[in-house]
């Protein structure tokens, strides 16, 4: 009996183990079969370019290599390290570093393998494996491996900009090198993972060997750039004066389809100028050769110098399909006087865009109203049913105006500098907020404190915009001043949030991701240089999570419009202006594809140098 029972038990146990193993294998086989293997990734829908695409649609694959393009930089620089909070980094100083994935200029939400040849991820995107190209090397000839990817991730997590650290620490559970050319990221539970493969795929990659052997401090300012793998290396710098980047003839990635027709200039030179006007004079004299004109006055009145009249310099206005930059006067909500929304609204009424556009800008601008201006994501009218799906559950956390009023538009003024109607409305708002006008014409609260406002500015070009605004504010009874600082002081005061108001940008995207937390998230309000306003709202935080969790384009669009509606209702900005066309001027020796992509002008990316045109200009005395 004993032997029979013993044998029966083990036969049962053996059968159970076999069944368990088969079941486990089936589960693993099913999971394995659901792993997506691809040359790229799209947030929603299909990728535009298939595995065997020869080159991007908007480039000239036969564009010649050679020549130089030169642009200008503002002020000065004292560092070539763009990922440190210390120092002011030189323009384009991130040019040395590549990423595992790279986006395109004709798709809003797709990325393709650059250093990574392919990627593997489950449908829920809870993790991702990148397969690195074995041929990838750094500019010093050393191979780029999974160890470099992990090192870069860890140093950004531990010593990078606060905005990098915040996102990485909260969203990435682990990162490991599976082999020399294979790296795996696992994301944390209970967070939206839709954008996370692209987020980690977009981190810059540094050389571990360089940092270990040089002893360079990642957190320190440095004029010696770290080693990267990109197509350009540093040729020379003259601190505060000039930077020259040189195309690396040994760059490992020229053969890649995603790079065909790109990185065409042999040299990119940056000339620094103290202010905007001196930079324009430098362009007129030929100190640099390409200018993206931001001054409407200069564009309308000053392009009559000899090089233009002789046809050497070309004015051009190709269409611009990109989102408006969110350029605006930004309130520092950390300042007590701006705690009342009526105060902020009153101040906003004193900026007269219509007068400025006619008198100062020659009518070439349009007003920004939305954080997603110039796109289909702009909220309009009353909330749609799709928006209410996200707004209604948060009703107690949102201003009533979000539901009862049409999406907030920037104030409209007459074409006189001081709009009397808006002045009366602003006066009423400040009276209601407890800021009364005294005998000296200055507004004070019940404690006798003056209502003060300092607009901080480091750009001479903005003087003519800010000074009339200051005059209007003074007419309202506000003790308003315009303070000019140099760019080093501006950087320092921005980082310390030592300002009342300044000009900045709220840069959004057509497929918003974690960057929304940096610009508008509560946790970023006290540390992120992107959240200059210090904006913090539980309702906005939840809407951002809704956006990050969206699994289809329609849902994303509705959630984004809902957030846009809320942000505009909170009035922590005074939106400025944008153009639907680029305003550029350049010496007529540069060429670009006939059909530009909608989301990038691409001057330093896929334009090219026409040597015959250069020789012709040179023969005529242009240089």
Q: For residues 155 and 210, what is the distance between their CA atoms, to the nearest angstrom?
A: 13
Mean pLDDT along residues 358-363 = 92
Mapped onto helix, strand or coil, the DSSP state of residue 318 is coil
Nearest to 567 by CA among 429, 413, 396, 391: 391
- Asked if residue 503 lies in contact with residue 492, where contact means CB atoms within 8 angstroms, the answer is no
Residue 476 or 515, more confident: 476
pLDDT one-digit tens code per residue, 189-243: 988 898 899 999 999 999 999 999 999 999 999 999 999 999 999 999 999 899 9
Write down the pLDDT at residue 514: 81
Q: Is the pLDDT of residue 23 over 90?
A: no
Write down the pLDDT at residue 29: 42
pLDDT one-digit tens code per residue, 242-287: 999 999 999 999 999 999 999 999 999 999 999 899 999 999 999 9
3-class SS letters over 398-459? CCCHHHHCCCCCCCCCCCCCCCHHHHHHHHHHHHHCCCEECCCCCEECCCCCECEEEEEECC
Residue 28: band (very low, low, confident or very high) from pLDDT cuts 50, 70, 90 = very low
Q: Which of 165-179, 391-405, 476-490 has the lowest mean pLDDT?
A: 165-179
Q: Average per-residue pLDDT in the chain?
A: 92
Mapped onto helix, strand or coil, the DSSP state of residue 89 is strand
Tokens at 72, concatenated: 């200008």
With 0-12 / 13-18 / 19 or more C-beta atoms within 10 angstroms meaning exposed / middle / buried, residue 481 is middle
Q: For residues 50 and 378, what is the distance between their CA atoms, to the nearest angstrom?
A: 31
Write down the pLDDT at residue 136: 98
Write down the pLDDT at residue 1: 35
The Cα-based distances of 288 to 68, 176, 215, 245, 291 in angstroms read 10, 45, 36, 14, 8
Residue 27: band (very low, low, confident or very high) from pLDDT cuts 50, 70, 90 = very low
Mean pLDDT along residues 121-137 = 97
- Asked if residue 138 lies in contact with residue 207, where contact means CB atoms within 8 angstroms, the answer is yes
Q: Is the pLDDT of residue 93 over 90?
A: yes
Which of the listed ranges 14-23, 247-256, 507-516, 549-558 does the model predict with the highest average pLDDT? 247-256
Nearest to 469 by CA among 361, 365, 341, 355: 355
Write down the pLDDT at residue 536: 97
Write down the pLDDT at residue 460: 85
Mean pLDDT along residues 503-532 = 90
Q: Is the pLDDT of residue 502 over 60?
A: yes
Write down the pLDDT at residue 9: 37
Residue 26: band (very low, low, confident or very high) from pLDDT cuts 50, 70, 90 = very low
Q: For residues 116 and 130, what is the distance between their CA atoms, to the nearest angstrom?
A: 6
pLDDT one-digit tens code per residue, 607-617: 999 999 999 99
Q: For residues 466 and 481, what is the distance between their CA atoms, to the nearest angstrom?
A: 10
Write down the pLDDT at residue 3: 42
- Asked if residue 296 lies in contact with residue 364, where contact means CB atoms within 8 angstroms, the answer is yes
Mean pLDDT along residues 73-79 = 93
In this prediction the pTM is 0.78
Mean pLDDT along residues 379-404 = 97
Q: For residues 217 and 83, what is the distance between their CA atoms, to the nearest angstrom?
A: 12
Residue 22: band (very low, low, confident or very high) from pLDDT cuts 50, 70, 90 = very low
Q: Is the pLDDT of residue 164 over 80?
A: no
Q: Is the pLDDT of residue 10 over 90?
A: no
Residue 11: band (very low, low, confident or very high) from pLDDT cuts 50, 70, 90 = very low
Q: Is the pLDDT of residue 512 over 90?
A: no
Residue 44 or 252, more confident: 252
Mean pLDDT along residues 430-456 = 97
Residue 6: band (very low, low, confident or very high) from pLDDT cuts 50, 70, 90 = very low
Nearest to 313 by CA among 322, 304, 321: 304
Q: Which of 14-18, 345-349, 426-430 has the lowest mean pLDDT?
A: 14-18
Domains belonging to the chain, first-starting first, are 38-56+93-214 (3.40.190.10), 346-426+454-578 (3.10.105.10)
Residue 174 or 32, more confident: 174
Write down the pLDDT at residue 13: 43
Write down the pLDDT at residue 14: 44
């Amino acid at each position: 009996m004993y032997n029979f029972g013993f044998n029966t038990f083990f036969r049962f146990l053996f059968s159970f183990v076999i069944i368990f193993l088969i079941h486990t294998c089936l589960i693993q086989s099913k999971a394995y079969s659901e792993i997506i293997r691809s040359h790229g990734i799209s947030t929603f829908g299909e990728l535009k370019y298939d595995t065997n695409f020869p080159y991007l649609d908007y480039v000239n694959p036969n564009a010649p290599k050679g020549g130089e393009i030169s642009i200008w930089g503002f002020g000065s620089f004292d560092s070539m390290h763009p990922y440190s909070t210390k120092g002011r980094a030189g323009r384009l100083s991130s040019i040395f570093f590549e990423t595992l994935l790279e986006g395109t200029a004709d798709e809003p939400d797709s990325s393709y393998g650059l250093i990574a040849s392919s990627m593997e991820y489950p449908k829920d995107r809870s993790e991702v494996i990148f397969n690195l190209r074995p041929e990838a090397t750094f500019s010093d000839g050393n191979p780029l491996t999974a160890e470099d990817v992990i090192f870069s991730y860890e140093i950004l997590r531990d010593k990078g900009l606060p905005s990098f650290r915040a996102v990485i620490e909260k969203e990435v559970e682990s990162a490991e090198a599976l082999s020399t050319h294979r790296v795996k990221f696992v994301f944390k539970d209970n967070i939206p993972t839709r954008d996370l493969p692209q987020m980690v795929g977009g981190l810059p990659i540094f050389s571990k060997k360089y940092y270990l052997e040089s002893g360079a401090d990642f957190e320190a300012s440095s004029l010696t750039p770290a080693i990267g793998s990109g197509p350009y290396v540093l040729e020379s710098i003259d601190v505060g004066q000039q930077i020259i980047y040189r195309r690396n003839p040994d760059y490992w990635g020229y053969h890649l389809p995603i790079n065909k027709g790109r990185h065409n200039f042999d040299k990119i030179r940056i000339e620094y100028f103290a202010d905007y006007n001196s930079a324009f004079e430098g362009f007129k004299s030929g100190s640099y050769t390409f200018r993206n004109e931001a001054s409407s006055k200069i564009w309308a009145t000053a392009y009559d110098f000899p090089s233009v009249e002789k046809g050497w310099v070309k004015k051009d206005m190709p269409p611009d399909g990109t989102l408006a930059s969110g350029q605006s006067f930004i309130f520092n909500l950390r300042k007590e006087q701006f705690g009342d929304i009526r105060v902020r609204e009153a101040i906003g009424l004193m900026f007269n865009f219509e007068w400025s556009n006619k008198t100062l800008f020659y009518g070439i601008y349009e007003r920004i109203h939305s954080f997603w201006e110039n796109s289909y994501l702009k909220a309009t009218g009353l909330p749609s049913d799709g928006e209410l799906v996200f707004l209604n559950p948060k009703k107690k956390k949102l201003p009533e105006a979000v539901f009862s009023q049409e999406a907030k538009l920037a104030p409209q003024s007459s074409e006189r500098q001081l709009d009397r109607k808006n002045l009366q409305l602003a006066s009423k708002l400040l009276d209601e907020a407890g800021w009364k006008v005294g005998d000296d014409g200055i507004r004070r609260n019940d404690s006798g404190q003056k209502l003060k406002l300092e607009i901080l500015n480091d750009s001479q070009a903005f003087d003519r915009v800010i000074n009339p605004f200051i005059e209007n504010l003074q007419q309202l009874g506000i003790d308003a001043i315009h303070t000019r600082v140099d760019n080093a002081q501006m950087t320092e005061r921005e980082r310390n949030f030592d300002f009342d108001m300044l000009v900045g940008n709220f840069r959004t995207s057509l497929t918003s991701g974690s960057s929304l937390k940096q610009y508008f998230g509560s946790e970023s309000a006290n540390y992120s240089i992107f959240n200059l306003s210090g904006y913090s709202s539980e309702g906005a935080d939840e809407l951002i999570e809704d956006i990050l969790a969206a699994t289809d384009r329609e849902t994303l669009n509705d959630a984004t419009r809902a957030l846009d509606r809320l942000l505009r209702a909170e009035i922590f900005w005074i939106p400025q202006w944008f153009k639907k066309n680029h305003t550029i001027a350049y010496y007529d020796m540069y060429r670009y594809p006939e059909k530009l992509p909608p989301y990038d002008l691409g001057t330093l990316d896929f334009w090219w140098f026409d040597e015959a045109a250069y020789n012709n200009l040179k023969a005529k005395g242009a240089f």
